Amino acid sequence: MPIRTEQELEQAVQEFQRLGGGNISPADADRRDNLNADIQAYYTEHAEGLRKAKPERQPDMERKSPKSPSDTES
């Protein structure tokens, strides 16, 4: 079934992850394959309008922690 909304997308991703990739039944493997195809189709169709999972890292937001103990000595 095609995914039409971001809420449906999130539900599909959760089910896909729940099914895992280990020893699963053939029916679950088929379901996982179908979910994968539906998820990819949604991303392909809606790529421009999707919110980003993580904000892009800005150079001025780099963590300024010492690299070694000698960096803290003055």
Question: Do the domain assignments include residue 13?
Answer: yes
Domain that holds residue 25: 1-50
Instruction: Provide mean pLDDT across the span 3-25.
Output: 91
pTM of the model: 0.63
Instruction: Count structural domains, the chain.
Output: 1
Across 24-61, b (16+ Cβ under 10 Å) vs e yields eeeeeeeebeebeebbeebeeeeeeeeeeeeeeeeeee
Those residues with Cβ within 8 angstroms of residue 35's Cβ, 6 or more apart along the chain or in another chain? 12, 15, 16, 19
pLDDT at 46 (0 to 100): 85
Instruction: Provide mean pLDDT across the span 6-19.
Output: 93
